[in-house]
C-alpha cells in the first residue's frame, strides 16, 4: 500500500522514439530533420558502410573515383574538342568539360542511389523505426565523397593547365550543397515511387541521361538558340553549374539570380521530397 493512497506515475521510458502519425499536423520536414539530427551517429555509420561497399570488390578501389570521370572526359574531349575552343570558353575545354561531368555524374548517382534506398533497406525499415530519409541522405552523402575527391582532381587540372584560382573558389561548397539538396529531394521522390513500381528507376535513368543534354555540360549556353535556350536556363542543374563555374574561374561573383535559383531549387526539391516521403512511407513500408 502506498502511503497517502497515491500511486506514483510510472517513470518515463527512455530511448523510445515517437512513431510517425499521418494525422499529425506538425511539419514533416522539421520532424524528419529533428530525427536525422538525433540519429547523426547512425547516419555516419551508414555513409561509411555505403562507401566501403561501393569499392570493396573493385580492383582499383577508390582510384576508380578518379579514373571513371577521366575516361568519360577523355572520350568526350576527343570527339568535341575540335568544336569548342578555349577562346570562347575562357578556360581550356578539358577543364570546362570536366567541371560539368563531375556535377552531372554526382547528381545522377545520388538520385538513383537514393531512389533505391528504401527498397534496399527493406529489412530495416519494416522492423525498426528509422527515418526513411536517413537511407536516401546516406546514399547522396556517399556519392558526395566521390564528388569531393573529383573536385580535388578538377583543381589539380586547373593548376596544370594554367587556369588561375579565384578567391571566390572558397564559396564553391555553396553550389555543391545546393546540388546535394536537389539530388536528395529528387531521390526521396523517386524512393517513394520506386517502392510501388520498380520500373520507375529505369525510366528515371533514361530521364537523367536526357537531362544531361539539357545542361551545358559540354557546350556553351550562348550557343543554344531559342526556344531551347530558355528550357536549358530553367533547368536547375544549369544554374548550379553556372554558379559552380563562375566561382572557380569567373571574373567576379555570379549574379544574384544564379544564387537564388540554385539555393531555391535545392530547398524546394528537398522540402517536397521530405513531405511526400513522410506522408507515404508507412504505406510504402508495408509493401516492402
Cα–Cα distance, 220 to 216 (Å, whole number): 6
Q: What is the pLDDT of residue 43?
A: 75
Q: What is the pLDDT of residue 225?
A: 86
Helix residue ranges, H only, 63-169: 64-80, 86-89, 93-115, 117-120, 122-125, 133-160
Q: What is the pLDDT of residue 73?
A: 84
The residues, any chain, with a CB within 8 Å of residue 106's CB and separated by 6 or more, are 143, 144, 146, 147, 150, 179, 183
* Strand ranges inside the chain, DSSP E: none
Q: What is the pLDDT of residue 250?
A: 82
Joined together, the cell numbers standing for residue 7 give 500511486
| pTM attached to this predicted model | 0.80
Q: What is the pLDDT of residue 68?
A: 73
The b/e string for 109-143 (b: 16+ C-beta within 10 A; e otherwise) is bbbbbbbbbbbbbeebbeeeebbbbbbbbbbbbbb
| pLDDT string in tens for the chain (288-residue length) | 444 454 444 444 434 344 444 444 455 666 666 777 777 787 787 777 777 766 666 655 566 667 777 788 888 888 777 776 655 677 888 899 999 999 999 999 899 988 887 766 655 565 566 676 777 888 888 888 888 888 988 999 999 988 888 889 999 999 999 999 999 999 999 988 887 777 888 899 999 999 999 999 988 888 888 888 988 999 999 999 999 999 999 877 889 999 999 999 999 999 898 888 877 766 655 555
Residue among 191, 185, 184 at smallest CA distance from 142: 184
Q: What is the pLDDT of residue 208?
A: 93
Q: What is the pLDDT of residue 175?
A: 96
Q: What is the pLDDT of residue 74?
A: 84
Cα–Cα distance, 26 to 88 (Å, whole number): 52
Q: What is the pLDDT of residue 121?
A: 62
Q: What is the pLDDT of residue 236?
A: 93
Joined together, the cell numbers standing for residue 34 give 529533428
Q: What is the pLDDT of residue 181?
A: 93
Amino acid at each position: 500500500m502506498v502511503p497517502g493512497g497515491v500511486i506514483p506515475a510510472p517513470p518515463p521510458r527512455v530511448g523510445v522514439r515517437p512513431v510517425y502519425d499521418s494525422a499529425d499536423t506538425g511539419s514533416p520536414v522539421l520532424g524528419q530533420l529533428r530525427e536525422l539530427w538525433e540519429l547523426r551517429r547512425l547516419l555516419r555509420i551508414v555513409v561509411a558502410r555505403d562507401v566501403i561497399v561501393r569499392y570493396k570488390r573493385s580492383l582499383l578501389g577508390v582510384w576508380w573515383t578518379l579514373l571513371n570521370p577521366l575516361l568519360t572526359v577523355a572520350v568526350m574531349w576527343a570527339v568535341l574538342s575540335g568544336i569548342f575552343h578555349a577562346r570562347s570558353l575562357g578556360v581550356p575545354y578539358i577543364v570546362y568539360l570536366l567541371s560539368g561531368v563531375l556535377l552531372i555524374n554526382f547528381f545522377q548517382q545520388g538520385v538513383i542511389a537514393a531512389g533505391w534506398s528504401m527498397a534496399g533497406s527493406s529489412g530495416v525499415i519494416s522492423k525498426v523505426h528509422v527515418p526513411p530519409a536517413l537511407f536516401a541522405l546516406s546514399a547522396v552523402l556517399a556519392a558526395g565523397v566521390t564528388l569531393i575527391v573529383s573536385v580535388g582532381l578538377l583543381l589539380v587540372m586547373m593548376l596544370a593547365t594554367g587556369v588561375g584560382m579565384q578567391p571566390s573558389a572558397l564559396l564553391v561548397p555553396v553550389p555543391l550543397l545546393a546540388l546535394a539538396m536537389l539530388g536528395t529531394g529528387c531521390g526521396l521522390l523517386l524512393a517513394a515511387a520506386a517502392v510501388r513500381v520498380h520500373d520507375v528507376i529505369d525510366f528515371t535513368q533514361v530521364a537523367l541521361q536526357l537531362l544531361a543534354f539539357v545542361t551545358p555540360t559540354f557546350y556553351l549556353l550562348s550557343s543554344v538558340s531559342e526556344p531551347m535556350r530558355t528550357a536549358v536556363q530553367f533547368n536547375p542543374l544549369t544554374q548550379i553549374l553556372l554558379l559552380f563555374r563562375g566561382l572557380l574561374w569567373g571574373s567576379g561573383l555570379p549574379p544574384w539570380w544564379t544564387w537564388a535559383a540554385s539555393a531555391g531549387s535545392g530547398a524546394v526539391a528537398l522540402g517536397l521530397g521530405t513531405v511526400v516521403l513522410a506522408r507515404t512511407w508507412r504505406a510504402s513500408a508495408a509493401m516492402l
